[in-house]
A and B are shown apart, each in its own frame.
Chain A
Amino acid sequence: MRSITKTFPGVVANDRIDFVVEKGEIHGLLGENGAGKTVLMNILYGLYKPDDGKILVDGKEVEIDSPRAALELGIGMVHQHFMVVPSLTVVENIVLGREPAKNRILLDSDKALKDVKDFSDRYKLEVDLKAPIHSLPVGVQQRVEILKALYRGADVLILDEPTSVLTPQEVQELFKAIQALKQQGKTVIFISHKLREVLAICDRITVLRRGRVVETVKVEETHLGELAKLMVGREVHFRFDKEQPENQKVVLRVENVEAVDDRGLPALKGISFDVRSCEILGIAGVEGNGQTELVEALAGLRKIIAGKILLDDIDVTKASPSKRMQLGTSIVPEDRHKRGLILGFSVMENLILGSHDKPPFATNFVRINIEEASSYAKRLIEEFSIKTPDKDTLAQNLSGGTQQRVVLAREFSRNPKLIVASQPTRGLDVGATEYVRGKLVEMRNHGCAVLLISADLDEIWALSDRIAVMYEGRIVAVKDLGKTNESELGLLMAGGKLD
């Protein structure tokens, strides 16, 4: 790609970018959110049209004006947000659009199954092919996406932040699959902002910052610190100062809570724990072990079938979400788009969500005091350094990290006693992650009880005062930070028992 330039109203997303990928290599595209990685790849995949610049494939200049054109050139892409049909099976999703047919009209399901099976065997991407997509964990859905791209004849595979939704185990499996792809002669472009991952898997790395190429380096000629500096443009902190708490009291008490998941199967099987003021309790665990249901139960979004939830000694087991909010619960949801932000709402409207019907925003029963809301929004935009053109910008036009800041600003400014933060740095770049973690510690230092749920063990490790491990709907252990180690936690997370 030569001298690619793309501007959006107010932003130069790509500024004269030169980007070269060689056949058969794994090429990392590293950069913070908003650096222009995804835009560049969307241009390559025909989703955006560049304002300027050329694309050359095998030395020939090509015009890619649609994903179809990209696929014809052997370029496939797996997006951060999957493009699958949840109710169809794996095979149906993979062959979608190029279904093998009998007599030209009937779907040849046997042939489809066989074809796809061959593919998944060849690339070591194992999937239960007959399962409907919505029943599969995210990691497996991603494998389906990769298979889909390969099935369509992709030789160059673009993976957009593929690990942001995966557990550490799933990441390992993905890496194996990527290596297998390389051995089969495929080329992989690996978009990420995670330094360790890029170092672990890539052959060469191109670093983007603010829409420009900073440098392209060979992996054996660089190291973590250098990459971080190239990417962020300054040194990065990974540790936080914590104040020693006094007079801790129990803020959240969860007693033998049981709940079922969306399919009606038990997800929480008698969970008990406390979170105290001035404390971060980290819940470690592989995703899908009841964390989502736990957060929803704490938010009041999921009915529990047994047990009790006490907030400051008040029984909130049956309280509505809005009541719990009033009593001091703040939630940072794992899925910003599903639970955190209304994308079609402006920043201001998102910032008052949940407080919109209370003074000072609501007056005379129903009127919303826009002046009050705007000044509140302006203050929060300032305080949390939300990078938005103005308060009336729609949330959907912000980058992931900025969106997360909006969620944090809203939740932390409610004067909470308890913060439930679920995967709070998922999909965020180094700078934003540092910010979010810093804020969580700051809230803790101010006396908040923080429940941190994360699949990222490094994160749990860096922030928690105590660590609980969740496995198959149970808390299998609670440890003080100083009295455990990573291998022990890893074992517990995988369902192992301690002697």
Chain B
Amino acid sequence: MTEQKKKLNLQVGRLFRRFLSELKAAVPKIVPQAIAIALAFVVGAVTLILTGYSPLEAYAAMLTGAFGDTFGIGQTFTQATPIIFTALAFLFAYKCGLFNIGAEGQFLFGAFVAAVIGISFSGLPSFLHVPLALLAGALAGGMWGFIPAVLKARLGAHEVITTMMLSYVALYVTSYMVNYPFKAPGWVAQTVPIAPSAELPRILPPTQLSASILIAFLLAGLTRYTLCRTTIGYEVRAIGLSPSVAESGGISIRKGIILALTISGAMAGLGGAGEVLGVHYRFIEGFSPGYGWDGLAVALVGGLNPAGILLASVLFGALRSGGMTMTRTMHIPLDIVSILQALVILFVAAPKLIKYLLKKGGVKWWNL
């Protein structure tokens, strides 16, 4: 074996060991979440039986709908995309000890501003137009995070209240905009389509899956990197864990809060921009079925870390896309999907129950 090969093998070996150790470290985090999800499906099955459907068939339809063919997979990831953004947004603020529950508003605002940029310029080359619109969306969302951040840092206004209220402001302002100044001719409250140069490419035609999913995965990696390997992430986490110690360590709490909530808003805004540029090609009133709120839930289901969020988002996306197939083929109301989602959240939010079950099963919690 040559020197080079040996070196390469050594490196691969090291990487592999690191991957294994990370995986091992993740097991205790994953197992309870997996059990919670399984429990949700069990209770969901009971619900299905009580309402006169066969749970096995329903779940089979869901599974094939979500992952059975290209179209299903495309749909699953399309549905997962916006939730990844809003979940990461929630996570980032959470790490600073802040509850940004206004991701919905930041998302909508980002989406709307991206649409405006997409409409307003024509003749720009794609490689400029797309980033410009994405950036504008992120900035708009960031501004919608910046306002409550300043209110919190300067006046101590609680971010739960302010982000939620600003969320409604964003909802109604964008609604007004697409009903009046920016309304496209016709019955629907929506803008005119964006210029083709602002469209994000679709990566799995004929599905709606767009390059936005790539941005989402990139953002997840970037979030992890930022939190673990940068001064910003270090300060944000320090403040989240202990503001008084962080302050003693020379960290400015005001700066940290403003930074964290603004970045959080920008993440949600970027997600909104991705939806407009990649899926709908315009801003439509009410196009978000509550992606901002889903983000909060997904962040929790994902165990409050970027990798977990990716997995949880795909689960939620699969529930949505599989649910649609199930409704179509078996005429089971789509509400069962909402029930399943709610059950997942419920069980994830009850870690004691899971611990109890694990203990009953004879599994030592800390040995996982």
Q: Which residues of A contact B (CB under 8 A)?
A: 9, 299, 301, 320-322, 325, 331, 333, 337-345, 349, 353-354, 356-357, 362, 365-368, 370
CB distance from B24 to the nearest CB of A (A): 14
- Total residue contacts A-B, CB cutoff 8 A: 66
Closest 8 CB pairs of A and B: A322-B250, A353-B249, A344-B241, A366-B230, A354-B249, A339-B248, A357-B231, A321-B250
Contact B231 A301 (CB under 8 A): no
CB distance from A198 to the nearest CB of B (A): 32
Q: Tell yes or no: B366 within 8 A of A by CB.
A: yes
Given A338-B242, A342-B246, A342-B249, 20 additional A-B pairs, CB 8 A: A301-B248, A321-B248, A321-B249, A321-B250, A322-B251, A337-B242, A339-B248, A342-B238, A342-B245, A343-B242, A344-B242, A345-B238, A354-B249, A356-B231, A365-B231, A367-B229, A367-B230, A367-B231, A368-B229, A368-B234
Residue of B242, B246, B252 ringed by the most chain A CB atoms within 10 A: B242
Contact A299 B231 (CB under 8 A): no
Report which of A338, A362, A365, A366 forms a contact with B245, defined as CB distance below 8 A: A338
Q: A325-B250, A342-B246, A345-B238 are in contact. Are A370 and B229 (CB under 8 A)?
A: yes
Main secondary structure of the interface of B (DSSP, over half): helix
Q: Tell yes or no: B329 within 8 A of A by CB.
A: no
A343 to B241 CA separation, bound complex (whole angstroms): 8
Contact B231 A368 (CB under 8 A): yes
Q: Tell yes or no: B247 within 8 A of A by CB.
A: yes
Contact A333 B248 (CB under 8 A): yes
Closest to A323 in B: B250
CB distance from B367 to the nearest CB of A (A): 9
A296 to B190 CA separation, bound complex (whole angstroms): 57
How big is chain B's contact interface, by range?
A: 20 to 34
Chain B 211-243: CB-based contact to A (< 8 A → 1; otherwise 0) = 000000000000000000111101101100110
A263 to B249 CA separation, bound complex (whole angstroms): 24
Contact B242 A301 (CB under 8 A): no
Residue of B232, B246, B250 ringed by the most chain A CB atoms within 10 A: B250
Q: Tell yes or no: B244 within 8 A of A by CB.
A: yes
Q: A299-B248, A339-B244 are in contact. Are A349 and B366 (CB under 8 A)?
A: no
Contact A366 B232 (CB under 8 A): yes
B-chain residues with CB within 8 Å of residue A343 when the two chains form the complex: 241-242
Closest to B240 in A: A344
Q: A342-B245, A353-B238 are in contact. Are A366 and B250 (CB under 8 A)?
A: no
CB distance from B60 to the nearest CB of A (A): 43
8 A-B residue pairs with Cβ-Cβ distance under 8 Å, sorted by A, are: A301-B248, A320-B252, A322-B250, A339-B244, A340-B245, A341-B245, A342-B238, A354-B249
Contact A301 B232 (CB under 8 A): no
Closest to B230 in A: A366
Contact B241 A320 (CB under 8 A): no
B-chain residues with CB within 8 Å of residue A357 when the two chains form the complex: 231, 235
B-chain residues with CB within 8 Å of residue A365 when the two chains form the complex: 231
A164 to B247 CA separation, bound complex (whole angstroms): 26
CB distance from B323 to the nearest CB of A (A): 38
CB distance from B332 to the nearest CB of A (A): 44
B-chain residues with CB within 8 Å of residue A354 when the two chains form the complex: 249-250
CB distance from B17 to the nearest CB of A (A): 16
A349 to B242 CA separation, bound complex (whole angstroms): 13
A-chain residues with CB within 8 Å of residue B250 when the two chains form the complex: 320-322, 325, 354
Contact A301 B247 (CB under 8 A): yes
A342 to B236 CA separation, bound complex (whole angstroms): 12
A-chain residues with CB within 8 Å of residue B251 when the two chains form the complex: 322
B-chain residues with CB within 8 Å of residue A349 when the two chains form the complex: 234
CB distance from A413 to the nearest CB of B (A): 14
B-chain residues with CB within 8 Å of residue A341 when the two chains form the complex: 245
CB distance from B134 to the nearest CB of A (A): 21
A299 to B245 CA separation, bound complex (whole angstroms): 12
A-chain residues with CB within 8 Å of residue B249 when the two chains form the complex: 321, 342, 353-354
B-chain residues with CB within 8 Å of residue A356 when the two chains form the complex: 231, 234-235
Interface residues of B in 237-293 (CB under 8 A from A): 237-238, 241-242, 244-252
Contact A331 B248 (CB under 8 A): yes
A-chain residues with CB within 8 Å of residue B229 when the two chains form the complex: 367-368, 370
A340 to B234 CA separation, bound complex (whole angstroms): 16
Closest to B229 in A: A368
CB distance from A295 to the nearest CB of B (A): 10
A342 to B234 CA separation, bound complex (whole angstroms): 11
Closest to B245 in A: A342
Closest to B248 in A: A339
A370 to B228 CA separation, bound complex (whole angstroms): 10
CB distance from B247 to the nearest CB of A (A): 6
CB distance from A296 to the nearest CB of B (A): 9
CB distance from B262 to the nearest CB of A (A): 15
CB distance from B245 to the nearest CB of A (A): 5
CB distance from B304 to the nearest CB of A (A): 13
A339 to B229 CA separation, bound complex (whole angstroms): 23
Contact A345 B231 (CB under 8 A): no
A368 to B248 CA separation, bound complex (whole angstroms): 20
Closest to B242 in A: A342
Residue of A9, A333, A338, A345 ringed by the most chain B CB atoms within 10 A: A345
Closest to B246 in A: A342
Closest to A369 in B: B229
A367 to B226 CA separation, bound complex (whole angstroms): 8
Q: A9-B366, A342-B245, A353-B238 are in contact. Are A366 and B231 (CB under 8 A)?
A: yes
Closest to B251 in A: A322
CB distance from A134 to the nearest CB of B (A): 15
A344 to B247 CA separation, bound complex (whole angstroms): 15
A-chain residues with CB within 8 Å of residue B231 when the two chains form the complex: 356-357, 362, 365-368
A253 to B251 CA separation, bound complex (whole angstroms): 25
A-chain residues with CB within 8 Å of residue B247 when the two chains form the complex: 301, 321
A-chain residues with CB within 8 Å of residue B242 when the two chains form the complex: 337-338, 342-344
Closest to A396 in B: B241
Contact A339 B245 (CB under 8 A): yes
CB distance from B263 to the nearest CB of A (A): 12
A365 to B238 CA separation, bound complex (whole angstroms): 18
B-chain residues with CB within 8 Å of residue A342 when the two chains form the complex: 238, 241-242, 245-246, 249
Residue of B238, B245, B248 ringed by the most chain A CB atoms within 10 A: B248
CB distance from A333 to the nearest CB of B (A): 6
